Amino acid sequence: MTEARSTATRGGAIAERLALSALDYPTPARANRWDFMLGALTLVSLVVLALTGIVLTQYYNPAPLSAHDSLLYIISNSPAVSLLRDTHVWAASAALALVFAHLAAVFWRRGFRNPREGMWWSGVVLLILLFGLAFTGTALRADQEAVEALAHAAAGAKFAGAAGALLSADFTPSTPLLSRLYAFHVSTLPLALIALMALHLWLVRNLGVSAVGPERVRFTSHLRLISGAGFVLVAIVASAALIWPAALSAPGVVGFEVTKPSWPFLWVYAAENLFGMAGMLIAPAVLFGFLALVPITDRHDGRAAQITRVLGAVLFVLMIGAIIYAAIAPGQSHLGMDMGGV
């Protein structure tokens, strides 16, 4: 009894010193449904990415001639770090799948309308940063898929003119492109992501979510649900990592096009099949251009809002269709390189 009381008092004292009562504010009961948890579950995947990534930085060598070897070393000599690498790769897939589900749910309930336009626009930039992290992460493997991803990016960078200079191997003779991409992957992009996420969550906290209905619950009950769902997510990601280890093909050889990108980039690959290299710029420009306009064109009920809704649904179906099509269609050469008999 005395022990129980002293534990409670200790818990209370820590909670008091950490000002945890600030989390005990009222929030709409409707926000305890799954479609309002997707943003937080994206955040859980990002935490897993950060924790596993910190360990990987101690084993990965970002020098072009050593990068692939350092990954082979992890896979062959260090089962625990290898499992963390597999978890990192699966958590990246989970983050991208969840952020798209979050975006679709927010779009469907029109959660971007006044006063939440800033949440939407900060979300659009977060999505761009997540794609940047996925791309630079792929390049770090220095395997065949990585070399081809870089060749595509370099060709796209030429199309983009000065804006693409950073992706060019000639940007500076002092530092190889792979080492510069590593710097983007472990510092520039994560720092930008953290800053943008702080803004996004600040707006969520202070403007509230768009859940309707008069019923209120404590935010701590929402946190408990998210923690439970977060544990399930981590268990799923870790199990996937145990069952299906992350791929690493042979060291990349320049001048060949024999692989397809991982699933988050397959819609761009499909656009390249249809429009050639220009598809690599057209598809992201259409997606992000549309996303940027949503809070402006769907401001009030009316014709523009209806068109936005229909266009959003069409784009969503097109993207899923393009990913499935690119996954099953035979590989194509987009850069006019050797396809190695594929």
Contacts to ligand HEM by CB under 6 A: 36, 38-40, 42-43, 99, 102-103, 106, 109, 111-112, 116, 119-120, 123-124, 126-127, 197, 200, 204, 209-210, 291
Q: How many CB atoms lie within 10 A of CB 341?
A: 5
User: At 331, which helix (H) or strand (E)?
Assistant: none
Given the complex with ligand HEM, which of 67 and 91 has the nearer CB atom?
91
**Structure-token pair, residue 331:** 């590989």
Given the complex with ligand HEM, which of 82 and 210 has the nearer CB atom?
210
Q: What is the DSSP letter of 24?
A: -
Given the complex with ligand HEM, which of 15 and 293 has the nearer CB atom?
293
Considering the complex, what minimum distance in angstroms separates the CB of residue 309 from ligand HEM?
15
> Whole-angstrom Cα distance, residue 47 to residue 95?
10
Considering the complex, what minimum distance in angstroms separates the CB of residue 301 from ligand HEM?
17
Given the complex with ligand HEM, which of 123 and 312 has the nearer CB atom?
123
> Whole-angstrom Cα distance, residue 69 to residue 47?
27
Considering the complex, what minimum distance in angstroms separates the CB of residue 77 from ligand HEM?
34
Given the complex with ligand HEM, which of 62 and 111 has the nearer CB atom?
111
C-alpha dihedral, 62 to 124 to 108 to 237, nearest 10°: 20
CA 218 distance to own-chain centroid = 30
Q: How many CB atoms lie within 10 A of CB 253?
A: 13
Q: Tell me which amino acid residue 177 is.
A: L
Number of residues written out for the chain: 342
Considering the complex, what minimum distance in angstroms separates the CB of residue 167 from ligand HEM?
23
Considering the complex, what minimum distance in angstroms separates the CB of residue 310 from ligand HEM?
18
Given the complex with ligand HEM, which of 45 and 82 has the nearer CB atom?
45
Considering the complex, what minimum distance in angstroms separates the CB of residue 288 from ligand HEM?
10
